[in-house]
Every structure is written in structure tokens, then in C-alpha cells.
Amino acid sequence: MSDTIAAEAIKSPGTRPIREEAMQGEAIRQASSIEMQGLHKRFSRDTVALDGVDLTIEAGEFFTLLGPSGCGKTTLLRILAGLEEADDGRLSIGDKDITEVPPHKRSVNTVFQSYALFPHLSVRENLAFGLKMRGMAANERDTRVAQIAEFIKLGDLVDRRVDQLSGGQRQRIALARTLVCEPDVLLLDEPLSALDAGLRSQLQVELLRVQKRLGMTFVFVTHDQQEAMVMSDRIAVLNGGIIQQVGSPREVYEHPLNAFVARFMGHDNLYPIIARQGTRLTTSLGEMVVEEAEEGEVLLIRAETLDLLPGEVAGENHVLATVNERLYRGSHAEYRLEVGETTLQATLNNRGRRLPEVGDRVTVVVAPEDLVTLSK
């Protein structure tokens, strides 16, 4: 990335000192909401990136755009940053329409997946770069850089070159460089995807803590369902440029609106509803009783809601199955069960009991309140 492009990406209007209160857990500034109305983006006749996106992000939310590659989430983030222009629609931050505002005049900063740091500069120089581009006096820059370095726990690294630091340290610097300019909104484009699993988990927690301490509006892009559920206040699941569902992590995971969302959130047990009579549904697993007679064409059974009893046990929502495969994962075991020609996935916590073995005949039990019906 060139110095010019990087400068455009991190500049934002207005300069405010980081208040001492923020270091004690209060928000730096009043957070800003985001309003998107009818956003469309087409790259070619056959490639529709966004197809009429309507979305409200509340002030101070940690909001995640989640979906597979090509779903439109990065395009939406780039439109927010001003790096792409929507073909149609309206975009507002707070009470200001920014649809036609160029990127360097938006109070929005972006943390990139590639860090976008200057390897030939020190940590201090990287953190001060955006402030220098905006003409801030040297003494004020030094104060601001010292504050943000301490806030992000980089104080002892400020005089090192960034090419001498680890991946996790570089990612924290990239975050600090965007925060030092105090934008209204911080955009994060899969910033943790290049890190190993352990460091990624650690930085997920750090990033969430920073957001809560600052009270700033964060918009986070990821394709990782677990990452989205750990970090988000709310999640928007996208597919084909269309928002499929918006809700809290628990809502999206436990009550997906359709089969796509269910599969993307990691659910495998999806069965067409062949017939229904009130709360009794006929499926390929047999007759299942749900808590409420809700509309829907597909039955979802979450793997972790199942219990396995040894042998054949009669009862409502009891299904006789054979253990085809078991994956022991220490704290829990994952099972692949065969019910005639139908496959069923189950997850059991390891609570010191005997876990079923491959080849065992077991009875699968699920409570009516744990069954969800949804659309195709």
C-alpha cells in the first residue's frame, strides 16, 4: 500500500485529545449510529455485490457482517469507508448523510487484514502518521501517541521498527493507529484472519475489551462464525448481497430464519417437513413433536441439544439410531448417527460418564422446546 493510499484510509476530520476518563473505562466520545437504506452495488451484468441492503447499526455497537466469500460483506465495508461507491441508496453516520462524502472527509477509519503499516518506520512514527498528515502540532502528537500506546499496552515498544515485531503486536499497532485519530466509526476487515488460533483467540478478547472501554461503534467483517458469536452485540448474516438475518449471536445461532443461516452457523441436522398435524411433524427421522405449531418447511435439530441413551427406549421424540462415527475432543465428543437412510449429528459433553462407542445402538432424545422450524 502506498503512503498516499494509507494516508487517505486513516485520515478523519476533527481532532480531540483522548480523555483521561477513557483510560478508566469511560467512552472517548459519544458513539455514532449508522443507517443504510437501499444500498445497491453491481460489478458487472452478472455480478451483484449488494442487492438493496437496509441496515441500522446502533451507536456503540460491536456489529459484525458475517458470511461466506463473495456474499457482499467486504463490499459493504468498503462503501462505508468510501473506498467503493454504491450504485444506488443512502448512507448516514449519526445525523450526517455521507453518501457523497469522499473517504478522507469521513470520520471513519479502517483496520485492514494486511495491517497496512510502514515497515521502515518505528511504532511511534506509525502511530503519529495520521496525526501528522492532519497538521497536528508535534507536542500534541507526542501526547496523543503516548496515550494510545499506553492504552493499547504498547508503551514499551514505541521505539521499535514494526518489522521487528510479532504478528499480534503488529495487529495491535494497526488498531492503535486507527484509534489515535478518534473516528466516529471503526471498520475492521477480517483483521485477525492471518493469526494463529491461540493468538487469534487472545486478540478477540483484547479487541472486545477495547471497544467496550471506548464505547465506539465497531463494524467487523469476518467469515468465522465462532469469532462473530464471541465478539458481537449483533450479527448480520449475508448471502448473495442480501441480508438473511440480523440478531444477537444467540438469536442467530439458536433461531436461524432459514436453512442457509442454519447451515452457515454450523448446523447439520436439517430435515424437510413431510407433513404436519398441529405440533406433530413427520420427517425422515419419524414423527417429532415441537413446542409450538410454527410455520416452516425444514426442521432444525441442534446437535448439542441431543442426548443419547443406551439401547432402545420408547418415548416421545425418541429415535433409535446406530453410532457410525465418534470424534473424541476431550471436553466433548461428536457423533455421526445413522437412522435408517438418514444421518444425525450429536454432540455430548464429557461429564465423566461412559460415552457410546462406534457400533452401539442408542436412543436419541430431544426435547420439543429444542426443535426449530424454519424456511428453506
What is the residue-level pLDDT of the chain in tens, covering all 376 positions?
Answer: 333 333 333 333 333 344 333 433 344 456 789 999 999 999 988 889 999 999 999 999 999 999 999 999 999 999 999 999 999 999 999 989 999 999 988 989 888 776 677 878 888 888 888 787 878 888 888 888 888 877 777 778 888 887 788 777 887 787 888 787 778 899 999 888 777 777 788 888 888 888 888 888 999 999 999 999 999 999 999 999 999 999 999 999 999 999 999 999 999 999 999 999 999 999 999 999 999 888 899 999 999 999 999 999 999 999 999 999 999 998 899 999 999 999 999 999 988 778 899 999 999 999 999 999 999 9
pTM: 0.83
**CATH architecture, range 3-260:** 3-Layer(aba) Sandwich (3.40)
How far are the Cα atoms of 10, 51, 56, 73, 90 from residue 36, in angstroms, in the given order?
22, 12, 6, 13, 6
**CATH architecture, range 267-374:** Beta Barrel (2.40)
Query: Domain residues of the chain, as ranges?
Result: 3-260, 267-374
